[in-house]
Chain A
């Protein structure tokens, strides 16, 4: 993993956001966001509910449109006339709080769908990749089950594997463990930690501070649509700069 990180420090950022703002109608959700992410970097984004974390990462695969500033992903600018948004999305994996697995497809079919339907891979090829990633998330034995037959933690691991099957350059996580029962959180975090060790570029919205300390290169703190503070994890937790960060940390670390 260190190889990749080293190598990427010199290259241009894979994600580059500059002066980006977004409104829902007249309500300004994001204000002048500036953020560069290099290949292999792992970011944790945190902040109070409603601060715009989800909106920010949803702008990165253009599930949401921004109105001002620019977002460049791997050299491609996101804008409302872009032609190849679907191709771009195949290169950005996204993991949702609510999994969003396809309930009418088996686990294996969930994983082979995109490679076969979008990339035109053969079934055997897609299955091979799928089984490889199911092994990685440690549930190969569930391949022929339907999502509803799996626990929440297993479903989320399937969702992660599903994204990985497209061999994405970046993985976005939007509170992947928030909908899970406490005893299932760690199995998902474990998979995410393993993934980080392979050098995957990751942006994770999460309040799991243990994960942030262990895995993140940088922690971003957001409030009211702005990036308030960013720092490497140790500094961030031990020496927060702004009052709002201190308040937020005291609230979530209390328990």
Chain B
């Protein structure tokens, strides 16, 4: 993006923003009555017993909370950009974690299940996703070439495939493959069925990514190649795809990150992946939320790691192209 070459006044330091935020946040805190909070108790020398401090106490606490919020924002506003980002991230993270405290989670229980969630759940999630993305990529190459070819059969089959598998909810595909195939006499295990559903569905979506990648290789490359006597297949394999693949890899990485979470859908057919374990491990002792929160956190961490890898891959290809 284009960065401005003149420095504008910072929004968070403008008086109307500061006053506006103070009023808005104050009103919100007043509305939700946070008198009986940590802050309320800290302020008890001023307002007396928070519980019996009435509207006065409620107002003072709300005002002080809003004031702290505004001061915090104004201070962060003075930071350089990188530090600003870090500070805001940390505060939001802290806020999210305090929500976890509100749930009053049983940490010992989480600890006892964590290792199994990782070795069984994360492992299964990752390998189901990884196999599926590989198969989906192969389907997508075939689909894209078929969609770009003159051959009517190839185009018809490819467009039928993408239309069908993009037109059905993934969850439904999972059920149909797992429950439908046995009726035709093919009993499939849950994991192969899940991989099949994920591959077919993502292959259909990724066909479009691959098609766009192939089409973004310039016409001149086709002409240069064909003019030298390379046939269609040779041109595709040796000239076009090698140039298209660097364009295709970054969006494929995004698809992989999305698939990591969509792979949770195969939990419905009993694959012991991360979602399945998050849903079932806490059932016996009614500690649902412990396992769900742990699973959620693991998904999030996995995604952060993959996004970091993804951005390095993107940077790598960006550098290569320039």
Stretch from B8-16, B59-67, B165-173, B238-246 forming part of the interface with A? B238-246
Contact of A102 among B224, B227, B231, B234 (CB under 8 A): B224
Give the contacting residue for A89; candidates B220, B228, B238; CB below 8 A: B228
Check A100/B221 contact, CB under 8 A, given A113-B238, A117-B234: yes
Closest to A166 in B: B228
A194 CB contacts on chain B under 8 angstroms? none
Give bound CA distance, A88 to B229, whole Å: 7
Query: What is the CA–CA distance of A44 and B225 in the complex, to the nearest angstrom?
Result: 25
Interface-facing stretch out of A90-98, A196-204, A207-215, A222-230: A90-98
Contact (A90, B242) CB under 8 Å given A96-B223, A100-B221: no
Partner of A61 from the list B227, B230, B231 (CB cut-off 8 Å) is B227
Tally of contact residues, A, Cβ under 8 A = 23
Nearest A residue to B237, CB-CB: A117
A86 x B231 contact (CB < 8 A): yes
**Is A163 interfacial (CB-CB < 8 Å)?**
yes
Q: A86-B229, A118-B228, A166-B229 are in contact. Are A102 and B221 (CB under 8 A)?
A: yes
Asked if A103 contacts B231 (CB within 8 A), the reply is: no
Q: Is the CB of A63 within 8 A of B225?
A: no
Residues of A close to B229: CB separation below 8 A: 86-90, 114, 118, 166
B220 CB to closest chain A CB, in angstroms?
4
Q: Judging by beta carbons under 8 Å apart, are B227 and A98 in contact?
A: no
A131 is an interface residue with CB less than 8 A from chain B? no
- A101 touches B (CB below 8 Å): yes
Q: Decide yes or no whether A255 CB sits under 8 A from chain B.
A: no
Indicate if A104 sits at the interface (CB-CB under 8 A).
yes
Pick the most buried of A90, A98, A117: most chain B CB atoms within 10 A of its CB: A117
Q: Is B226 an interface residue (CB 8 A)?
A: yes
Extra A-B contacts (7), CB below 8 Å, given A92-B227, A102-B225, A118-B234: A86-B229, A89-B226, A89-B227, A90-B228, A96-B224, A102-B221, A166-B228
Q: Which residues of A contact B (CB under 8 A)?
A: 61, 63, 86-90, 92, 94, 96, 98, 100-104, 113-114, 117-118, 162-163, 166
